[in-house]
Structure 1
């Protein structure tokens, strides 16, 4: 496994506190917003909400945003 630095290089530091990401075993990834998400095809989607839920199961009709579709099959 490659060695990953614990801090960003000096030239790449961002101002302000780091983003908080909350992982859930059977649910979406919660990210403190606003957030931009780069999709597989290279397009970018943005949400200005204070917290967003990113779909990890791909059942969402609003992917990459979670619409709680995962609850139907849990």
Structure 2
């Protein structure tokens, strides 16, 4: 395994040229095949090494940028 500097992005089982698959569903989150790094508006980077993550598009999630199903209508 190569020695990367400590501030280098993590790459987990991810060839550098492999495309990411993103599934768009309406209404709902973006489903992204992981692992992922998400850079927020303030420059903060959050990471997930899960095989699939749901990214919030409605901004109602208490766990933003991760979806917590807040977009669903409550009965």
Short-chain TM bin: 0.7 to 0.9
CA distance in 2, matches of 1:20, 1:48: 15
Give the structure 2 partner of residue 49 of structure 1. 50
Give the TM-score normalised by the residue count of structure 1: 0.75
Q: CA deviation at 1:16?
A: 4.6
Write out aligned runs for 1:1-74 (5 A): 15-72=16-73
CA distance in 2, matches of 1:42, 1:16: 24
Gaps of at least 5 residues in structure 2 are 1-14
Q: CA deviation at 1:35?
A: 0.1
CA distance in 1, matches of 2:65, 2:50: 14
Gaps of at least 5 residues in structure 1 are 1-13
State the superposition RMSD in angstroms: 1.4
Q: How many residues align?
A: 60
Q: CA deviation at 1:72?
A: 2.9
Instruction: Detail structure 1 runs of 4+ shifted over 3 Å in the superposition.
Output: none
Give the TM-score normalised by the residue count of structure 2: 0.74
